[in-house]
Amino acid sequence: MYDLRLDRKLTKSMFAKWDKETKDWVVNAIASLVVVDQVVESHEMVALQEAIELLDSRNEIENLMNMIKQKKMFKIDNLNTSMSQAGEIYFYLAAIACIDGKMKKVEADLLKELGQKLNLPVDFQKAVMKWGINQMNHNQRWSQEQNILNQQKDVLLKVL
Is the pTM for the entire model greater than 0.95?
no
pLDDT along the chain (160 residues), means of 10: 45 75 92 86 81 88 88 88 93 85 87 96 95 85 92 93
pLDDT at position 2 is 36
DSSP string, the chain: -------HHHHHHHHHT--HHHHHHHHHHHHHHHHTTS---GGGHHHHHHHHHT--SHHHHHHHHHHHHHTPPPP-------HHHHHHHHHHHHHHHTTTSS--HHHHHHHHHHHHHTT--HHHHHHHHHHHHHHHHHHHHHHHHHHHHHHHHHHHHHH-
pLDDT at position 75 is 85
Show me where the domains of the chain are located.
8-159
